[in-house]
């Protein structure tokens, strides 16, 4: 019965909007760059071809302050927004996002664990990992301990601005095993330890905010190593032959589609999310950027050589850290404030 209801809703969402007279547009906000280019190929253009409705795209860096202000004044111009897992969890608790009607994506069992959340559905699995330019560094760094070793590997390092990721990487650089990172970070002593480790590297850190920044900084030699999104580095390797990645110690996470609370085009936004969650579209996305599909049926359709370069490949997950959404939902605000205070000193 559930499958019948699900199938009926999905058909209604995807099949009832093809009439030219109903043509409209949906505003989708994502992180831009190579990610946006892959989304355009896999989601935006096919959605217009299938439904007659265009996608108007906008980019942001993950800061939800603008969205919060729009929701507060009940003037929301974003229909669908791409968000990371901790922000989705916090935003859902705070009423920033609409609750997800899980029927619109089909059978939740078709998705990898963690991809279907109360306020969002996973777009892809991605990893923030250590990347370096072999043309700019002597040797082959293989860990976050190497990343912190400025004597063996001289030069600037790139880290994403903020406490999230920086603290986890600092603990791994200080000898904490990947599997124990959040257990240690969950204590005051662990937090102090992470910030102390960041103190050591602070003079050498070049902070980045946009996913394209590490690609540019590694290419021009601003930094010799950087944390980076695996998909951005993979997309750049065609031109930047010296780019290398270290999967061990990477932090994997989901990006999600979410609908802002009070979204004006809710039905059309749901149609877009339903469309983008289909296996065929997720397969095309993974073929255009090295991020893992959340729909299991899409994974089954990928060529082995493509699947092997994704965060979801077993060897790439072997010593990786899963982003602890509950931890960051509970402690994120306090840790980010401490980070801001630390960075100013």
pLDDT tops 80 at residue 18:
no
Cα–Cα–Cα angle for 333, 317, 63, rounded to 5 degrees: 25
Q: Alpha carbon 304 to chain centroid distance?
A: 23
* C-alpha–C-alpha distance, residues 121 and 172, integer Å: 30
Query: What average pLDDT does range 13-20 have in this prediction?
Result: 41
CA 112/CA 279 separation, integer angstroms: 12
What proportion of the chain, given as a percentage, has pLDDT over 70? 94
The CATH number of 127-253+317-344 is which of 3.40.190.10, 3.10.20.740, 3.40.50.300, 3.40.50.720? 3.40.190.10
CA atoms within 13 A on the CB side of 156: 14
Rounded CA gap, 111 and 296, in Å? Answer: 5
- Please count the other Cβ atoms lying within 10 Å of the Cβ belonging to residue 222: 17
What is the structure's pLDDT at 33?
85
**pLDDT greater than 60 at residue 16:** no
Every domain of the chain with CATH number 3.40.190.10 lies at 2-125+254-312, 127-253+317-344
Place of tokens 């729909």: 295
Most confident of 60-64, 101-105, 206-210: 206-210
Given pLDDT bands bounded at 50, 70 and 90, which one contains residue 317?
A: confident
Q: How far is CA 190 from CA 110, 128, 181, 258, 280, in A?
A: 37, 21, 9, 32, 44
What's the whole-number mean pLDDT along residues 173-183? 97
Phi, psi of 339 (to 5 degrees): -60, -45
Helix (H) or strand (E) holding 34: helix 33-39
Q: Is 203 exposed, middle or buried (0-12, 13-18, 19+ CB in 10 A)?
A: exposed
Determine the pLDDT at residue 97: 96
* Greater pLDDT, 112 or 340: 340
Percent of the chain predicted with pLDDT > 90: 81
The CB density around residue 170, as the number of other CB atoms within 10 Å, is 26
* Angle, vertex CA 25, rays to CA 104 and CA 39, nearest 5: 65
Q: 2-125+254-312 architecture in CATH?
A: 3-Layer(aba) Sandwich (3.40)
pLDDT exceeds 70 at position 88:
yes
78 within 8 A of 27, measured Cβ to Cβ = yes
Entry pTM: 0.80
Q: At 196, is the secondary structure helix, strand, or coil?
A: helix
Asked if 153 and 224 count as a contact pair (C-beta separation under 8 A), the reply is yes
**Token representation of residue 134:** 């072999």
Whether the CB-CB separation of 187 and 334 falls below 8 Å is answered with no
Task: Please compute the mean of the pLDDT values over residues 281-294 and round it to a whole number.
Answer: 95
Q: Which of 85, 21, 94 has the alpha carbon at shortest distance from 51?
A: 21
Contacts of 51 (CB under 8 A, 6+ apart): 14, 17, 18, 271, 275
Question: β-strands 225-229, 321-322: how paired?
Answer: unpaired
- Kindly report the average pLDDT of the chain as a whole number: 91
Specify the residue for token string 């996305």: 285
């Amino acid at each position: 019965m559930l499958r019948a209801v699900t199938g009926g809703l999905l058909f209604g969402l995807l099949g009832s909007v093809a009439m030219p007279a109903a043509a409209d547009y949906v505003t989708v906000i994502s992180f831009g760059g190579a990610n946006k280019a892959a989304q355009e190929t896999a989601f935006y253009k096919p959605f217009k071809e299938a439904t007659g409705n265009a996608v108007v795209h906008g980019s942001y860096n993950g800061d939800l302050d603008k969205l919060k202000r729009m929701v507060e004044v009940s003037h929301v111009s974003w229909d669908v927004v791409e968000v990371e897992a901790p922000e989705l969890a916090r935003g859902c608790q705070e009423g920033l996002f609409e609750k997800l009607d899980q029927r619109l994506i089909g059978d939740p069992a078709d998705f990898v664990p963690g991809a279907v959340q109360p306020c969002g559905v996973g777009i892809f699995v991605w990893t923030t990992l250590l990347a370096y330019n072999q043309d700019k560094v002597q040797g082959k760094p293989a860990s976050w301990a190497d990343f912190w070793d400025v004597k063996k590997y001289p030069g600037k390092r790139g880290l994403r601005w903020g406490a999230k990721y920086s603290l986890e990487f600092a603990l791994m650089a200080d000898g904490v095993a990947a599997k124990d990172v959040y257990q240690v970070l969950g204590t005051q002593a662990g937090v102090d330890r992470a910030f102390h480790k960041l103190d050591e590297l602070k003079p050498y850190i070049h902070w980045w905010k946009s996913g394209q920044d590490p690609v540019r900084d590694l290419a021009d030699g601003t930094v010799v190593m950087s944390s980076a999104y695996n998909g951005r580095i993979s997309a750049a390797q065609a031109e930047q032959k010296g780019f290398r990645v270290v999967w061990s110690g990477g932090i994997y996470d989901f990006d999600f589609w979410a609908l802002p609370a009070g979204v004006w085009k809710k039905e059309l936004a749901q149609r877009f999310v339903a469309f983008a969650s289909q296996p065929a579209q997720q397969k095309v996305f993974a073929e255009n950027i090295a991020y893992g599909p959340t729909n299991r049926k899409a994974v089954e359709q990928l060529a082995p050589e493509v699947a092997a370069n994704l965060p979801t490949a077993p060897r790439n997950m072997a010593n990786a850290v899963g982003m602890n959404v509950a931890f960051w939902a509970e402690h994120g605000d306090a840790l980010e404030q401490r980070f801001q205070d630390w960075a100013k000193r």
